[in-house]
Amino acid sequence: MQRFANKVALVTGASTGIGLETIKRIRAEGGTVFAAHRRGVLEIEGVPSIALDVTNEEHWERAVSEVVATAGRLDILINNAGVRESGSVEETTLEQWHRLIDTNLTSIFLGCRAAVPAIRNAGGGAIVNVGSITGIRGTENMVAYSASKSGVTSMTSSLALDLARDNIRVNAVCPAAIRTRMVTDWLGAADDVDAAEAAVLAKHPIGRIGRPDEVASVIAFLASDDASFMTGMSIPVDGGRSIR
């Protein structure tokens, strides 16, 4: 399939995991992709990299301008960058709260605000936000993370209402545990790694942790014209966790 022929996409959090697999998927289907992440270096031939601190308004404006100056247009924005940290309401510091809200939620606001004019000028397109299953169902000991991801879910539906008139669709994916560096580092920090992983597996009826490419395939679907009658949705990609 060449679902993304003549389409230009900007993907954040692009260096590993879901972001990297999304880039591979869109490129394999004919799209031009710009990879945005803090380090600004991505070793995939033919994929230009942009250094982007997603919490920085000026960085966003510069990134979108660079994409349009280079490729002539922007059709798709994938807001994938994020951080995961645990903590109850009593354990979570104000600094930690702001870090999670800024990185996981404010970054999407800034990204959409910077990208929407360019996507509108291209005749419309798609925005896909990466939320979390915790944005649909709260998770214990993750008060700030859950709040940030719940914000992604509600903001996605509000953006979809605002932007439908511009032929811009906005959807989100909500992964559960995916075998990314974020989850691997979290499991590796446990006192008993095997027990921690067993506890995670028990929450997923499918009985395993997901793969980044499995999330990327849903992102690609939502970003493509195959999902042309879908907007405002937050789709669980969670091995059944949300129905347990």
- Predicted confidence (pLDDT) per residue in 71-98, tens digit: 999 999 999 999 989 899 999 999 999 9
Q: Which residue has the higher pLDDT, 195 or 220?
A: 220
What is the rounded distance in angstroms from the CA atom of residue 227 to the CA atom of residue 221? 6
- More confident of the two residues 10 and 186: 10
Whether residue 40 is predicted with pLDDT greater than 70 in this model: the reply is no
Query: Does 106 participate in catalysis according to the annotation?
Result: no
Q: Which of 145, 174, 218, 234 is catalytic?
A: 145
Residue 43 confidence class, pLDDT cut points 50, 70, 90: low
Q: Could you read off the pLDDT of 179-206 as tens digits, one per residue?
A: 887 777 777 777 788 887 888 888 899 9
Q: What is the Cα–Cα distance from 168 to 123, expressed in whole angstroms? A: 8
pLDDT at position 1: 76
- Domains of the chain, each with CATH number or no CATH: 8-178+211-243 (3.40.50.720)
pLDDT at residue 162, as a whole number = 98
How confident is the model over 108-156, as pLDDT tens digits?
999 999 999 999 999 999 999 999 999 998 888 899 999 999 999 999 9
Give the whole-angstrom CA distance, residue 152 versus residue 136.
Answer: 10
Q: Is the pTM here over 0.85, yes or no?
A: yes
CA distance 27 to 19: 12
Q: Name the more confident of 11 and 185.
A: 11
